[in-house]
Amino acid sequence: MIPGPFTYHRPASLTEALAVLKTYGDEARPLAGGHSLIPMMKLRMASPEHLIDLGSIAELKGISQEGTDIVIGATVTQAELIKSDLLAAKLPIIRETAQQIADPQIRYKGTLGGNVANGDPGNDMPAVMQALGAQYVVQGSGGKRSIAAKDFYQGSYFTALQPDEILIAVRVPVPAAGHGYAYEKLKRKIGDYATAATAVILSVSGGKIATASIALTNVAPTPLIAEEAARLVIGTTLDAATLKKAADAAKAVADPATDGRGTADYRREMAGVITGRALAKAFARAKGV
């Protein structure tokens, strides 16, 4: 299928983009890289009458450090995330995750903002941002506000973003130096959504896990924070018994649907398996192994 008719807007500034969005309200949709929205338009799952291309807005670009936070503009592409020396040094899990998204052609166009703001449960970055404790900076007619990544997702393609708001940046607190991290993803082929995936951020003190955050991708209508799984590993050396308990706790919160990637039971089981792999890798990295 082809998209329905729409009017194309290419504002040169954020102010202009917000004015267009305010004028047309629910009839308008912002466009970043287009790899989530355009397929939905082709399937007539989305039919905006006005498309607001954000690609020319300088305010939405760039990666910088502000105090203890890394600030990433909404239209920074996955390829730019991968190439960033700052992210490689401070937030390597973002680079690791971006390298697993789709394929190189898509990564040159697909943006971080589009990946996190669309509410697609199959997108990889939302769970990573939840594990990192990120904040989404959005701006609309009422001004600017921040929304915690953990509070942003309300259902498949439903988020806390208001109709007149645009996500303009993602603020990520820098984890402690020497932290452990991993994004493990099971998929059928290159370019596919995850059958199941897990993001882990942890720290180690005295050989034991001191802090841990675990989030799951594409095993529910929204990304999931696996709080119980994280609680179970804190204070441990991640022995085999603890690892199994954490994997089982991740399985317990997963609520996948049966689809072309497998049955619900299979995908739930894989959520546990992948969580175990991510925890083991993150723990090894934190120990310098």
Q: How far apart are CA 23 and CA 84, in angstroms?
A: 36
Of 235, 203, 54, 224, residue with least CA distance to 155 = 224
| 218-261 confidence digits (pLDDT tens) | 999 999 999 999 999 999 999 999 999 999 999 999 999 999 99
What is the architecture of the domain spanning 60-173? 2-Layer Sandwich (3.30)
Q: What is the pTM of this model?
A: 0.94
CB atoms within 10 A of CB 186: 20
DSSP character for 60?
A: G
What is the architecture of the domain spanning 7-53? 2-Layer Sandwich (3.30)
DSSP character for 120?
A: -
| Residue pointed to by tokens 């120990």 | 287
As given in the structure block, the two tokens for residue 246 are 């954490």
pLDDT at 38: 78
**Res. 288: pLDDT tops 80:** yes
91 near 175, Cβ under 8 Å? Answer: yes
Q: Domain 180-286 falls in which CATH fold?
A: Enolase-like; domain 1 (3.30.390)
| 142-180 confidence digits (pLDDT tens) | 999 999 999 999 999 999 999 899 999 999 999 999 999
3-state DSSP: the chain helix, strand, coil percent, rounded to 5? 35, 25, 35
Domain assignments of the chain as residue spans, ordered by start: 7-53, 60-173, 180-286
CB atoms within 10 A of CB 200: 30
| Residue pointed to by tokens 């609520």 | 255
| 53-104 confidence digits (pLDDT tens) | 999 999 999 999 999 999 999 999 999 999 999 999 999 999 999 999 988 8
Averaged confidence pLDDT in the chain: 95
User: Do the two domains 7-53 and 60-173 of this chain adopt the same fold?
Assistant: no
